[in-house]
């Protein structure tokens, strides 16, 4: 029998590949976590593997999912799918960017790419973010619109805080030269006070963002520790994943 | 400006000795490269920049005094080849036509010195060894006549003292042979550089290589006690985070039973529960392996709930890494439920590139966006699960798992604003705050941070709770975060108060 890789794999005990995969993943996890002791060759290896495999996988996916099926259609029915030929030519022209002498030919597909992308992004930004968000910002400050009693007032305070907070945060970025005059001194004091409130709000905002990011990274760390203890060492959580 | 050859210090153009090391600047002679124009010391055989040969035509390559603003310009020690060339010119009948600058006069004087040497050698083969010639002092150069001279006989200009110097040195060092050979390097010759550009480049190099005051100011000396405290504090923080992650080992999931699902999680579970059998849900796995540890448990919980509700699921991704993750998750679910088959209950369409144009095609035709599916490579019309599903509007719900807020924004701006359907965003905790305005405006039906929501979702949907053990770990981590924030802020305020009191 011809010893092909498939035949060799068939002779291995069941779950061998899965066990090997778990071991590789566990060792790479440990290599990545070793960064806690500073940069080292194991961490570098894991880092390079991640980047290289991700790039190779993306390239294979683009070929299998996008290019090859459309190329087959173009070859089989050129009269129907002629427009794929245009896109392939544009794609090939993009490769001209690699050579200085013919790089000008790459401007055409880049122009199409950026032009289409910018037009769609602009249109989508207007209809999907700009107008709906402005519409959502127009809120009533009448407690009766939200309900009876203190609940209505609570809903009114919320948009007021949003508007006042936005103004205060913008004022925090106001920088002006020192000028004379009582009125100007009063104005400067007001700007300083409101700007201080704005700086406080910005600090709270950054704190909340940092806490969210920390929670996100802790979730990733937790998942890796669970993997090491449960899937690799079989110590914990013997139930299903 | 004169650069000292010994210490590289830049001296004023009228300096006779180096300001830094005190070395003599008397023999400051440059030779311009005929190819690139770079200034080289006179003893150089090859250009320091382009490696071009400086020897041929050396009479032309020596920079004239008028080109370089150096009053103390004393040509000295011209190379053997220069002298040989000069001798040839001196012997030629057109000698009188040469320019009459100070340098050429000096060269004429040197010609006289070497004329006899060359005249003694009848063969043009190996040249004589380098000979020490004393350069003319500046006073003599200035005093030299400036008008053109008549051709001179070489023998008239031979100083008596210099004859002795040359005596007996012929053939001792074969350096002339090497100097006359063409250089092996064939580097591309850079464009000609003017003297001003050369000076600017040297000035830039000196500024860039100097140790500036900023670098010295940035050097902060941290006291040993503070360094130790920082190191120990970091180690303590690592230990606390590790202990927080291992909390379920000690608690045995008992505290997780107290968990109450949030309204948004309950709302999503209710929406999925209310879907009739055979409904269709589109799920986009827009996250990569880096965030799979956070998002996967929630995606698994939602996927199991959809499978249990017998809802058709069509998966896709706008992130290349998300396709493989989707396949892995659905292989796990299909392994748990034998009736849940690929092509009938679920399908993975694959990767859709283009955050704007790619997503926009979902509004018109799924078949244009995906020619074949990812797993079986069949056309979409061949998959039973795709029956009556031609565009994104045919789906009852659309769920996006994402690790990047731009991905969710693209879904809102390019797809939802055009087609108007119910969109649920289940995202990482890091990007949840950025998407809150879309939830408050009603564009997102649900916005859930994935980090600690898997257990909540399992509880809300009334399914098994394998992700519940995560909850204790998150609770412990939040406690660590809170205690650390309070402790460090208190320490900071105390330090500042102490510094103020010391200042007063």
If DSSP codes are grouped into helix, strand and coil, which group holds residue A96? helix
Nearest CA in chain B to A67: B371
pLDDT over 80 (residue B481): yes
Query: Which residues, 6+ apart, have CB-to-CB distance to A23 below 8 Å?
Result: A232
Using CA atoms, how far residue B405 sits from A17, A99, B137, in Å, is 36, 36, 77
Query: What confidence tens digit (pLDDT) does each residue in B285-328 have?
Result: 999 998 998 999 999 999 999 999 999 999 999 999 999 999 99
Phi, psi for residue B317 in degrees, rounded to 5: -155, 145
CA distance A64 to A58: 10
How much is the pLDDT for B169?
Answer: 52
Q: Is B180 exposed, middle or buried (0-12, 13-18, 19+ CB in 10 A)?
A: middle
Q: Torsions phi, psi of A64, nearest 5?
A: -70, -40
B350: alpha, beta or left, given left = phi > 0 and alpha = psi -120 to 50? Answer: left
- CB of B47 within 8 Å of a chain A CB? The answer is no
Whether the CA torsion B108, B112, B118, B122 is positive or negative: it is positive
Instruction: Report the mean per-residue pLDDT for chain B.
Output: 74
Residue in A69, A125, A133 nearest the CB of B371: A69
CA distance B152 to B379: 97
**Element (DSSP H or E) covering residue A80:** none
What pLDDT score does B196 carry?
A: 80
3-state secondary structure of B262: coil
Tell me the Ramachandran region of residue A3: left when phi exceeds 0, alpha when psi lies from -120 to 50, beta otherwise: beta
Burial (CB count <10 Å: 0-12, 13-18, 19+), residue B428: buried
Q: What is the C-alpha separation between A219 and B334, in angstroms, rounded?
A: 26
- Check whether A238 has a pLDDT greater than 70: no
Q: What is the mean pLDDT of residues B124-146?
A: 42
Q: CA of B230, closest CA in chain A: separation in Å? A: 15
Q: Are strands B2-3 and B10-11 parallel, antiparallel or unpaired?
A: antiparallel
- Per DSSP, the three-state class of B449 is strand
B249 close contact with A: CB closer than 8 A: yes
Question: Is residue B468 scored above 50 in pLDDT?
Answer: yes
* Closest to B453 measured CA to CA, from B408, B399, B397: B399
Residue pair B37/B193 in contact (Cβ under 8 Å)? The answer is yes
- Chain B residues within an 8 Å CB radius of A236: 248-249
Binned at pLDDT 50, 70 and 90, residue B120 comes out as very low
C-beta atoms of B294 and A216 within 8 A: yes
| Cβ neighbours, 10 Å, residue B134 | 12
Q: Does B466 touch chain A (CB under 8 A)?
A: yes
The interface residues of chain B toward chain A in range 469-488, judged by CB-CB distance below 8 A, are 469-470, 473-474, 477-478, 481
Does residue B157 have a pLDDT over 70? no
Are A241 and B409 an interchain contact pair (Cβ–Cβ within 8 Å)? no
| Residue pointed to by tokens 């979409």 | B380
User: 10 Å Cβ neighbour count for B177?
Assistant: 11
Is pTM beyond 0.80 here? Answer: no
Q: What is the mean pLDDT of residues A16-41?
A: 90
DSSP-assigned beta bridge partners for residue B351: B317
Please give the Cα distance from A168 to A193 (Å, whole number). 9
Q: How far is A113 from chain B (nearest CA, A)?
A: 10
| The pLDDT of residue B170 | 53
Mean pLDDT of A123-130: 93
Contact residues, chain B, for A240 at CB < 8 Å:
336, 464, 466
DSSP per-residue codes, A123-156: HHHIIIIIHHHHHHH-----GGGT-STHHHHHHH
Q: Binning pLDDT at 50, 70 and 90, where does residue B46 land?
A: confident
Highest mean pLDDT among A105-114, A231-240, B160-169, B222-231: A105-114
Q: What is the number of alpha carbons within 13 Å of residue A41 lying toward its C-beta?
A: 0
Mark yes or no for CB contact A117/B449 under 8 Å: no
For residue B26, what pLDDT is reported?
A: 64
3-class secondary-structure state, position A27: helix
What ipTM did this prediction achieve? 0.84
| Beta pairing, strands B397-402 & B423-427 | parallel
Dihedral pair phi/psi, residue B282, rounded to 5°: -100, 125
Distance (Å, whole) CA B457 – CA B449: 11
Winning range, highest mean pLDDT, from A228-232, B174-178, B310-314, B415-419: B310-314
DSSP-derived secondary structure letter, B210: S
Contact A215 B451 (CB under 8 A): yes
- Show Cβ contacts of residue A177 under 8 Å, excluding neighbours closer than 6 positions: none
The answer to whether the beta carbons of residues B110 and B133 sit under 8 Å apart is: yes
Of the candidates A65, A124, A215, which has its C-beta nearest B351's C-beta? A65
pLDDT, tens digit, 9 for 90 and up, residues A185-228: 888 889 999 999 999 999 999 999 998 999 899 889 888 888 88
Return the pLDDT at A25. Answer: 93
The C-alpha atoms of residue B426 and residue B448 are separated, in whole angstroms, by 5
């Amino acid at each position: 029998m011809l010893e092909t890789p498939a035949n060799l794999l068939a002779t291995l005990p069941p779950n061998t590949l899965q066990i090997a995969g778990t071991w590789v993943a566990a060792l790479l996890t440990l290599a990545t976590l070793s960064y806690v002791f500073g940069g080292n060759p194991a961490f570098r290896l894991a880092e390079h593997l991640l980047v290289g495999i991700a790039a190779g996988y993306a390239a294979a996916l683009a070929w299998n999912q996008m290019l090859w099926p459309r190329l087959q259609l173009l070859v089989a029915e050129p009269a129907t799918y002629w427009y794929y030929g245009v896109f392939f030519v544009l794609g090939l022209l993009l490769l001209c960017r690699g050579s200085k002498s013919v790089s000008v030919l790459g401007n055409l597909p880049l122009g199409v790419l950026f032009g289409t992308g910018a037009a769609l992004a602009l249109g989508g930004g207007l209809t999907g973010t700009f107008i709906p968000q402005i519409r959502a910002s127009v809120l009533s400050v009448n407690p009766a619109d939200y309900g009876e009693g203190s609940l209505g007032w609570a809903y009114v305070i919320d948009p007021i805080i949003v508007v006042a907070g936005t103004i205060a945060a913008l004022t925090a970025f106001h920088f002006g030269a020192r000028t004379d005059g009582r009125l100007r001194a009063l104005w400067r004091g007001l700007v300083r006070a409101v700007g201080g409130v704005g700086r406080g709000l910005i600090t709270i905002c950054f704190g909340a963002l940092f806490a969210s990011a920390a929670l996100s990274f802790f979730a990733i760390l937790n998942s890796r520790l669970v993997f090491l203890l449960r899937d690799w060492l079989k110590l914990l959580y013997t139930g299903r994943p | 400006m004169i650069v000292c050859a010994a210490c590289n210090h830049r001296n004023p153009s009228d300096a006779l000795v180096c300001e830094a090391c005190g070395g003599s600047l008397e023999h400051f002679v440059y030779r311009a490269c005929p190819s690139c124009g770079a200034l080289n010391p006179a003893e150089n055989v090859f250009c320091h920049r382009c490696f071009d040969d400086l020897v041929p035509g050396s009479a032309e390559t020596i920079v004239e005094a008028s080109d370089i603003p150096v009053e103390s310009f004393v040509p000295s020690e011209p190379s053997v080849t220069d002298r040989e060339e000069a001798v040839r010119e001196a012997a030629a009948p057109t000698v009188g036509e040469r320019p009459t600058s100070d340098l050429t006069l000096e060269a004429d004087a040197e010609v006289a010195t070497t004329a006899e040497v060359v005249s003694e050698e009848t063969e043009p083969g190996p040249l004589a060894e380098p000979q020490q010639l004393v350069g003319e002092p500046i006073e003599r150069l200035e005093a030299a006549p400036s008008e053109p001279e008549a051709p001179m006989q070489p023998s008239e200009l031979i100083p008596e003292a210099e004859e002795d110097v040359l005596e007996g040195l012929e053939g001792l060092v074969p350096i002339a042979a090497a100097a006359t050979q063409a250089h092996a390097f064939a580097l591309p010759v850079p464009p000609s550089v003017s003297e001003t550009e050369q000076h600017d480049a040297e000035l830039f190099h000196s500024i860039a290589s100097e140790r500036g005051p900023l670098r010295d100011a940035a050097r902060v000396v941290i006291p040993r006690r503070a360094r130790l405290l920082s190191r120990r504090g970091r180690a303590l923080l690592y230990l606390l985070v590790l202990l927080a992650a291992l909390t379920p080992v000690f608690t045995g999931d008992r505290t997780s039973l107290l968990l109450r699902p949030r309204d948004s999680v309950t709302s999503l579970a209710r929406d999925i529960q209310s879907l009739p059998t055979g409904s269709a849900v589109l799920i986009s796995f827009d996250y990569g392996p880096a965030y799979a540890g956070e998002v996967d448990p929630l995606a698994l919980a939602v996927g199991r709930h959809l499978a249990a509700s017998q809802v058709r699921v069509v998966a896709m991704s706008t992130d290349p890494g998300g396709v493989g993750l989707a396949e892995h998750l659905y292989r796990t679910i299909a392994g748990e439920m034998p009736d849940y088959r690929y092509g009938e209950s679920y399908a993975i369409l694959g990767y859709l590139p283009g955050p704007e144009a790619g997503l926009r095609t979902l509004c018109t035709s799924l078949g244009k966006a995906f020619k074949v599916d990812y797993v079986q490579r069949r056309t979409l019309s061949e998959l039973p699960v795709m029956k009556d599903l031609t565009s994104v509007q045919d789906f009852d719900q659309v769920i996006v798992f994402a690790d990047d807020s731009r991905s969710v924004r693209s879904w809102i701006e390019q797809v939802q604003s055009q087609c108007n359907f119910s969109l649920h965003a289940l995202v990482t905790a890091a990007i949840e705050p950025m998407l809150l305005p879309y939830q408050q405006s009603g564009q997102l039906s649900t916005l859930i941070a994935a980090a600690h929501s898997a257990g909540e979702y399992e509880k809300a949907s009334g399914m098994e709770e394998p992700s519940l053990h995560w909850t204790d770990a998150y609770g412990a981590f939040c406690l660590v975060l809170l205690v650390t924030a309070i402790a460090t802020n208190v320490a900071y305020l105390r330090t500042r108060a102490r510094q103020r009191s010391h200042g007063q």
